[in-house]
Structure 1
Amino acid sequence: MNILLIMDPGIPVPPLQYGGHERLVYMFAEEYTRLGHHVTLLAGPGSKISGEVVEFGVNDLDRSKKQRNMEMLFAWKYLRKNHSRFDLIHNFGRLMYLLPVLNKPVKKIMTYGRPVSKKGIKIVTTLPNRNLVFTACSNYCVSTGNVAGKWHTVYNAIDFSRYHTAQQVPDDAPLMFLGRLDKIKGAHTAIAVAKATGHQLILAGNIPHTPDNLEYFKNEVEPLIDGEQIKYVGALNDEEKNYWLKQAKALLFPIEWDEPFGIVMIEAMACGTPVIAFKRGSVPEVVQNGVNGFICNTTDEMIDALQRVDKIDRQQVRASAEKRFAVSVIADNYLQL
């Protein structure tokens, strides 16, 4: 097949550090190519895949509305001219990119990795359309947009070959928190769990730049970073994630919002590291109690679960996740659609 993948500009594909969706698009591009398909990628400057790349827009997450509108016009022009070249258009970008080809025979998959705008779905599905399928990265995420059209859950994926498992770790192995250091990610709770149990905590992730979250970081997280029990190691690339995750006793995921998926959970599992997470969003779909981690409702439950984490087989943690979330499995799910 000839496949067109679309990703919003702002971060190149693949990303250097932050950019979960861009990393996913790159993996699917490479997997589709490995399977013998011809892949074209429409994405921001500096993007690279084994197939063809068409660059558009600028790499700036804070770019203006005018710039975003120019990007949409470029996508419309490209799709009007080239849609007949493709058997499948797989869009990870803005839904409106698909407007010129909604009623064309080319097959279209619109994939969401975050809560969905019901308004956009209602507008698009009232227009004449053919061969359009919506997917989202969890049952929870599907539920946010499933008001019209054909919907399927297709989970996120990682390349398990890039992660290595530690079969066991010492009793005093550190805990890990990996994610943006926004309040809703719960770094303050992870610190509280570490202090209550006497464990070292490795904090990793981007320091926020929005005023409210930066204030949270400065007031509730940074003063507790002592470089010994609570250690901050910055934003991590893939190699650094592997290094820190595989030596952790558990990944703490004390989110205070309904996370659509949380790729960091399966990154930890790929390293054999159990995940102890709050029951929000997609967590009950990813974490299997007693198999690859524990699902909790409170900080006290998280502390209690940590006392039982040594009973979990780290090889089984990886195996259970790879069976469900390997890029080969998820790419096949998309192609079956």
Structure 2
Amino acid sequence: MRIGVLASIAHRTPPIAYGPWEQVASTLAEGLVARGHDVTLFATADSVTAARLHAVAPHGYEEAEGRPQGEGYDVKVLESLHIAAAFERAAGFDVISNQFDFLPLTWSRLVGTPVVTTVHGFGSEAILPAYRAYDDIATYVSISDADRHPDLSYAATIHHGIDVGRFTFVADPGGYLLFLGRIHPDKGTAAAVEVARRAGLPLVIAGIVQDRAYFDERVAPHLDGDRVRFVGPVAPPERDRLLGGARALLHLIGFDEPFGLSVVEALATGTPVVACDRGSMPELLRDGVTGFLVDPADPLEEAVAAVGAAGSLDRALCRAEAEQRFSAARMVEEYEALFARVVSDR
């Protein structure tokens, strides 16, 4: 098949550090190339891919700090030109995989090529009208059953997959806990700090600061470089090292998370996850086997107990779960089958 993969341009594909949407687009594009498909990846110019690369944006706009912000660097202009580049070439594809969000839907009635849109989540109810407006012709993929909206029709649920081979299995971890993700109230960074304090274990915090006020008020006062350390965004090698060395990943989310790549990445290293029982977490974790699901209304006490029990879990089973359920090969095969069905139906 001739497939166009439309990635976000917030970050490089694959991302240098943070960038879950770009990581999924990269994993899909590389997997499809490996399976013999003719793939064009629409991403930033500094992206790394075995597919054909078509780029309008020189680099991810979220990674533009310190770079010139003059003509050609306006985010909306770049996004518009980026999407247009894919749809102006639509006749050359059998299918377009939209990994960009809702904006490309506005082009979908203007081309004859089917567009498969992966819904990476609803950041706001305000974007739902765009999805509703194209529900009659769209092919929507949810990334978890929990994230399906009742107003929309879905062709499939396809859980994200990761290259498990890029993560090192660690049978005997260190004695610290890990928070890995956006520093934001939704992700429960402050809750992780409190659980680590009550459990008497060091905490490493890794990720981008998305809410500066929250970081300054709820997280920064606890940073001492020893019991609570903040290491910022981490590239893949450091991410692998931190995940594998942790006693447990703390994922005490305060929202219904659509997926959670860091959760399955932790499992790939053998590290169990302590997560709030909401959103996609019951789909990703087996309570008492690959981690623990705690009461989201009052998670702290249960999370502390779960941290104490994490050492009794079989880390080899965590790794096996990642290999069997969350591999890149499984994800790519499911998309490939969906693309073939959509093309045949069209």
**Normalization by structure 1: what TM-score?**
0.89
- Whether the aligned pair in 1 keeps the contact of 2:101 and 2:119 (CA below 8 Å) is no
Between the aligned partners of 2:84 and 2:307, the Cα distance in structure 1 is: 51
Report the counterpart of residue 183 of structure 2 in structure 1.
Answer: 181
Letter paired with 1:33: V
Amino acid at match of 2:120: G
Whole-Å separation in 1 of the counterparts to 2:240 and 2:82: 38
Give the aligned residue type for 2:141: T
Structure 1 equivalent of residue 344 of structure 2: none
Q: What pairs up with 1:245-264 in 2 under 5 angstroms? A: 245-264=243-262
Counterpart Cα distance in 2 of 1:194 and 1:108? 45
| 1:273–1:105 Cα change, 3 Å | same
Aligned-partner Cα distance in 2 for 1:125–1:325: 28
1:20-50 CA-to-partner distances (Å, cap 9, x unmatched) read 1111111111110110111101122322311
The equivalences for 1:121-270 within 5 A come to: 121-125=131-135, 129=137, 132-143=138-149, 146-169=150-173, 173-208=175-210, 213-270=211-268
Listed as ranges, the matches of 1:1-337 within 5 Å are: 1-57=1-57, 59-61=60-62, 67-69=75-77, 71-72=79-80, 75-76=83-84, 78-80=86-88, 82-102=89-109, 104-115=111-122, 117-125=127-135, 129=137, 132-143=138-149, 146-169=150-173, 173-208=175-210, 213-297=211-295, 298-337=299-338
Classify the secondary structure of the residue corresponding to 2:302. helix
Distance 1:240 1:77, change over 3 A: closer
Q: CA deviation at 1:93?
A: 1.2
Question: Mind listing any 5+ residue stretches in structure 1 that lack a counterpart?
Answer: none
Q: How far, CA to CA, are the matches of 2:247 and 2:301 in structure 1? A: 18
> Counterpart amino acid of 1:168?
D
The runs of 5 or more residues in structure 2 that have no matched partner are 339-346
* d(CA) in 2 for partners of 1:239, 1:262: 19
- Matched letter for residue 152 of structure 2: A
The amino acid of 1:137's aligned partner reads I
- DSSP 3-state at the match of 2:250: strand
Structure 2 vs 1, CA of residues 336 and 294 (structure 1 numbering), >3 Å: closer, same or farther?
A: same
Superposed CA RMSD in Å reads 2.2
Structure 1 residue 107: Cα displacement: 3.2
TM-score normalised over the length of structure 2: 0.87
